[in-house]
Amino acid sequence: MANSLPEIAYEKLKWAIIKGELASNTSISERKFSEKYGISRTPLREALARLGQDGFVLNYPNLGYIVAPITFKDIIDIFDVRLCIESFALTQICEYKIPVDSDLLRKINSEYFEAGKAGDDETLIIKNVEFHKVAVDSLKNTYISNIYNQTRDMILRLAFASNKVSPVVTVTGYQEHEGIIQCLEGYKLAEGIKEASLHLKKGRDNILEAAKGTITYL
């Protein structure tokens, strides 16, 4: 079944924001984007309302929508949520011996590494986020996965922007991912929590460093 027009408009606008094609505080002209995507204003307005609910845009009465900026506090809050979810996933996996597809994790990690060597930043960023999603989805908890997915979109947005300022160190990320895989395979809870926490905090600090000296980020 084909996606509805509001869904198509939502995805196009969301990815334009995530990839930085629409920067913070950019005014979104309904006429302009209606013409660009060949979508009438009614489904476009539905898409914008949904993007507002998801935190990607702000709606000002009589002024319309602008792309929402991300503050330093937003960066910290997003990573706090991510750390909570991923630590919980690791705890459940290790305590209840929940199987995780380590072959898939290594495949994604290899694709992440190769993308980095090739200078394919978009694939590198997407594969990095895909890697972390595997463990969370292994819990088969729809509610947790849905919350994580929303966080994932914000993480992608941060990663695209920060990578332009301070590119990801692919070798380091690859090695840290492999360490997490080994902990999952051996159900090593304490070591896994330590590895994942250090990895995520390093990612958070890199983004904060890239944003240093600004009031808002993106």
pTM over 0.75: yes
pLDDT tens sequence across 75-109:
999 999 999 999 999 999 999 999 999 999 999 99
Residues 25 and 110 in one domain: no
Strands 57-60, 64-67: pairing kind: antiparallel
**For a pLDDT cut of 70, what percent of the chain falls above it?**
94
Residues 42 and 146 in one domain: no
Asked which of 68, 85, 105 is the last residue of a domain, the reply is 68
Assign 62 to helix, strand or coil: coil
pLDDT of residue 1: 44
Give the number of domains in the chain: 2
Residue 166 pLDDT more than 80? Answer: no
- Residue written as tokens 């980095």? 116
Residues 77 and 181 in one domain: yes
Residue 171 pLDDT more than 80? Answer: yes
- Nearest-angstrom CA–CA distance, 5 and 45: 11
Residues 118 and 190 in one domain: yes
Q: Which residue has the higher pLDDT, 178 or 169?
A: 178
- Domain of 33, CATH number, reads 1.10.10.10
Amino acid in position 212: K
Residue 164: pLDDT band with limits 50, 70, 90: confident
Closest to 50 in 3D by CA, of 65, 69, 70: 65
Token digits of residue 84 = 């909570």
The domain containing residue 24 runs over which residues?
5-68
Asked which of 46, 68, 90 is the last residue of a domain, the reply is 68
Q: Are 151 and 204 in contact (CB under 8 A)?
A: no
- Nearest-angstrom CA–CA distance, 179 and 165: 27
Residues 96 and 179 in one domain: yes
- Domain of 102, CATH number, reads 1.20.120.530
Residues 93 and 55 in one domain: no
Q: Are 92 and 184 in contact (CB under 8 A)?
A: no
Cβ neighbours for 117, distance < 8 A, ≥ 6 positions apart? 170
Residue 38: pLDDT band with limits 50, 70, 90: confident
Residues 64 and 86 in one domain: no
- Nearest-angstrom CA–CA distance, 180 and 158: 22
**For a pLDDT cut of 90, what percent of the chain falls above it?**
73
